[in-house]
Each structure stands twice: as structure tokens, then as C-alpha cells.
Structure 1
């Protein structure tokens, strides 16, 4: 078995979509970066890599057995054993997982570029390990778990705010005031105003969702800010992301 040493990881917990496991260039100084002393490296099939990167389902039992207690973290100069963790690659991309003792990849991380390159060097010329995936329910994307294509090209901040916008829209759809949907559709797309009377709440909702789930623009940002106003939980997320932007701007000046 191949092993890697002294890896820097930035864990993203409970993420089922790989686009939320941020690449190194999107790591933030307030993220909790940790040092892995030793961890197994596995070359796997593209199918298994995608399954682990973009889902939160049980991992193949033979894979868990192969990596059991072979990872060590360094914390306060002490070496701590990790139940199930590994670096995985399909030869094209790299991800790290830690199950926190469970059987699914609860925590995921990317690697820094230098260590990614080392992964590709170490597996060059080798054949992928064969682990069969149990028949699982086909993953469905929805408003609270958008398809990767709808997040493509967005920055970490934009992805976070887009998810926040989708949460606010989902709450709006299921609220006791569905007539508000028409108001927000007009805010989003004033050209729809003449046709609003002809639309049912469902049709208005579909237009609003289909419009906002594509890309990210200043219009998205404005709608998101207005929708979350007065909702403490949502406002906290909004302020956190915008606070990060102000820190970044200040550090560049």
C-alpha cells in the first residue's frame, strides 16, 4: 500500500457535492487547516472517485478494511490514530476523506498543488484498485443541492451565496404567503410584471427558480440580500460571506 506523509488538509464536513470541497486557491485563513502525519493513498476507478467526491453514501467495506487505522494525525505534538481515512485519486483528480469512524465520507478535503502532483507521480503506471459499489439510489439534485453545472465557474463566495439564495427561495415557496412569489419575480425580472395576473403561483415560482439557478450576477446578489433581510440565520450567512470580501479587499490595499 502507498502512503503519504505530512499532508495539509482543510476539511469540509457533510458535503455531498464536490464543488463545495474547496480547492487550495479558495482556502481561507480562518479555515481549520490540519496536518496529517501519515495516510494511505489509493488509486481507484473514475466511477468510485465520483461516487465518493459527489455523494454521502456508505463506502465499500473492503476499502474501509484496507485503510482501517492506517492514518495518523498530528495534534499538539501527539500522534492520533484515525479509524478510516485515505487519499483517493482516479489519476485525474484528488480528494481526501475521513469517515469520523462511520462508514461514509463525512469529511472531505483537497490537497495543496505540490502534494497533488506528488499523488499523480506515485500512482503513475499503476492499475486502479477494484472496489465494487453497492447498488445505491441514484443521486438526485434539487434546489438545496444544485447540479454541478449550475455552480460551474463560481467562486467559493458565489457558491455560498447561491446556496443561501436557494434556501431563501425554498422557504418562500413553502411559506404561508405564496402570493409573495409574484412580488419577488417582479423584483428579479420586471419584464414579467404585465403577465403576472396570468400566472399561477406555481408558474411564477418556476420562472423565478429557472431564472435564478443559472450563473451568478449582481442581480442574484441584490435579490439574495433583499430576501434574507430580517431573517437572523440567513443574515448571519450573508454577513459572513461579505465580511470575508471586505477582509480580502483590506489585505490587498
Structure 2
């Protein structure tokens, strides 16, 4: 088995979509960067790589057995054994996972560029190991888990705010005040006001969703800010993305 040493990781927990596991250039100062002392490296096929990167289901039992207690973290000069963790690659991309003792990839991270290049060098010319995905349910994208294409080209901040907007729209759909939907659609697209008055609440919500689902811009941000006003949980997320954030650079490691 191949092993990597002294690996910097930036864990994203409970993420089922690869676009939320941020690349190194989007790491922030306040992210909790950790150091892994030793971790196995596994070359897998494209199917399993995509399954690990873009889902949150049980990993193949044979993979878990292979990597069991082979990872060590360093915390306060102490070497801690990790139950199930590994670096996986399909030869084109890389991801690290830690199951936190469960059987699914609860925490995931990207690598810094230098260590990513090392992964590709280590697996060059080798064949992927074969692991059978035991059973999995077909993943479905929805308003709270958008298709990757809907997030393509957006920055970390834009993705976070777009998810916040979708959460607010989902809440609006199930609101006790359905007449609000037409109000917000008018805010989004005032030119449609004459036809909006004739719409059912369901049609108005569908128009609002279809209008906001693609891309991200000032108009999206303006709607999002107004929609979440007075909702402490949403406002906390909003403020977190508007605080002074800067990229965390590990220049010596790059």
C-alpha cells in the first residue's frame, strides 16, 4: 500500500457535493487546517472517485478494511490513530476523506497543489484497485443540493450565498403567507408585474426559482439580502460571507 506523509487538510464536513469541498485557492484564514502524519493513498476508478467526491453513502467494505487504522494525525505532539481515512485519486483529481469511525465519507478535503502533484507522480503507470460499491441509492439533486452545473464558475462566497438564497426560497415555498411569493417575484422582475398579478402562488414561485437558479450576480445578492432580513440563522450565514475573509496561503508548501 502507498502512503503519504505530512499532509495539510482543510476538512469540509457532511458535504455531498464536490463543489463545496473547496480547492486550495479558496481556503480561508479561519478554516481549521490540520496536519496528517500518515495516510494511505488509493488509486480508484472514475466511478468510485465520483461516488466519494459527490455523495454521502456507505463506502465499499473492502476499501474500509484496507485502510482501517492506517492513518495517524498529530495533535499537540501526540500521534492519534484514525479509524478510516484515505487519500483517493482516479489519476486526474484527488480527494481526502475521514469517516469519523462511520462507513461513509463524513469529512472531505482537497490537497495543496504540491501534494496533489505528488499524488499523481506516485500513481503514475499503476492500475486502479477494484472496489465494489455494495448498494447505493440514486443521487437526486434538488433546491437544497443543486446540480454542479448550477454552481459552475462561482466563487466560494457566491456558492455559499446561492445556497442561502435557495434555502430562503424553499422556506418561502412552504410559508404560511403564500401571497409573499408574488411580492418577491415582483422584486426580482418588476417588468413582469402585470402578468404576476394573474399568476397562482405555485406559478409565481416556479418563475422565481427558474429566474434565480442560473449564475450569480448583484441582482441575486440583492434579493437574497432582502429575503433573509429578520431571520437570525440566515443572517448569520450572510454576515459570515460578508466579513473580511482572505485566502489562507501556505506559500512554502505550494
- Shorter chain as denominator, the TM-score bin is over 0.9
Shift in Å, 1:247: 10
SS at match of 2:244: helix
Offset at 1:134?
2.0
1:19 and 1:246 map into 2 onto residues whose CA distance is 19
Taking the aligned partners of 2:191 and 2:5, their CA distance within structure 1 comes to: 58
Answer yes or no: is 1:96 the counterpart of 2:79: no
Helix, strand or coil: the match of 2:130?
Answer: coil
Runs of 4+ in 1 over 4 A off after TM superposition: 245-248
Over 3 Å counting, the alpha-carbon distance change for 1:156 and 1:219 in structure 2 is same
SS in 1 for 2:37: strand
Distance 1:126 1:213 in 2: 41
- Say whether the 8 Å CA contact 2:9–2:35 is kept in structure 1: yes
Q: CA deviation at 1:137?
A: 1.2
What do the CA deviations read for 1:194-227 (whole angstroms, capped 9, x no partner)? 1012211111111100111100000000000000
Give the Cα–Cα distance (whole angstroms) in 2 for the partners of residues 97 and 221 of structure 1.
32
Alignment of 1:115-194 (within 5 A): 115-194=115-194
Q: 1:245 and 1:229 mapped to 2: Cα distance?
A: 22
Shift of 1:192: 1.4
Q: When the two structures are superposed, what TM-score results if normalisation uses the length of structure 1?
A: 0.96
Q: Deviations over 1:160-192 (max 9, x none)?
A: 000000000100100101110000001111121
Structure 1 residues 206-225: aligned runs within 5 Å: 206-225=206-225
- 2:133 partner SS: coil
Please report the TM-score for the alignment, with normalisation by the length of structure 2.
0.96
Query: For 2:111 and 2:45, how far apart are their aligned partners in 1?
Result: 19
Give unpaired runs (5+ residues) of structure 1.
249-253
Query: What corresponds to 2:251 in structure 1?
Result: none
Conserved? CA contact 2:29–2:246, under 8 Å: no
SS at match of 2:120: helix
What is the rounded CA distance, in whole Å, between the counterparts of 2:39 and 2:228 in structure 1? 42
Separation in structure 1 between the aligned mates of residue 62 and residue 157 of structure 2, nearest angstrom: 37
Decide whether the 8 Å contact of 2:15 with 2:107 is kept in 1. Answer: yes
Identify which of structures 1 and 2 has the higher relative contact order when contacts are C-alpha pairs closer than 8 Å and 6+ apart. 2
Question: In structure 2, the residue corresponding to 1:91 is in which secondary structure?
Answer: coil
Aligned-partner Cα distance in 2 for 1:164–1:217: 14
Identify if the C-alpha distance between structure 1 residues 42 and 25 changes in structure 2 by more than 3 Å, giving closer, same or farther: same
State the SS of the aligned residue for 1:177.
coil
Describe the SS at the equivalent of 2:73: strand
Unaligned regions of 5+ residues in structure 2, if any? 249-254
- Say whether the 8 Å CA contact 2:71–2:84 is kept in structure 1: yes
Secondary structure, counterpart of 2:197 in structure 1 = helix
Structure 2 equivalent of residue 228 of structure 1: 228
Give the aligned length.
248
Task: Give 1:251's aligned residue.
Answer: none
Displacement of 1:44 in angstroms is 0.2
